[in-house]
Amino acid sequence: MPLEVEGETYYTAAEAARYLGVSRETFYNNTRGLLQQYKFGVLKRIYYRKSDLDRLKTARPIDSDEED
């Protein structure tokens, strides 16, 4: 269940992977390094902010014509 803190939603790695529509393995290998990690209080669980995940969801590949 996502965590709500000061109006922002935070997901665990498993929840973030589901939100992005990828496996946890893909999340760990390809996206986790791009995201800021958060911890709250004494909880040892790492969370990822939904607004950061949304930026990844809206990323699109560059057309080959645009690379030059």
Residue 67 is assigned to a structural domain of this protein: no
Residue 12 is assigned to a structural domain of this protein: yes
pLDDT in tens, 5-61: 989 999 999 999 999 999 999 999 988 778 999 998 787 889 999 999 998 888 677
Number of domains in the chain: 1
What lies within 8 Å, CB to CB, of 56 at 6+ separation is 20, 31, 34, 35
Parent domain of 26:
3-59
Residue 20 is assigned to a structural domain of this protein: yes
Residue 21 is assigned to a structural domain of this protein: yes
Q: How far is CA 52 from CA 5, 11, 25, in A?
A: 15, 11, 19
Residue 11 is assigned to a structural domain of this protein: yes
State pTM to two decimals.
0.77
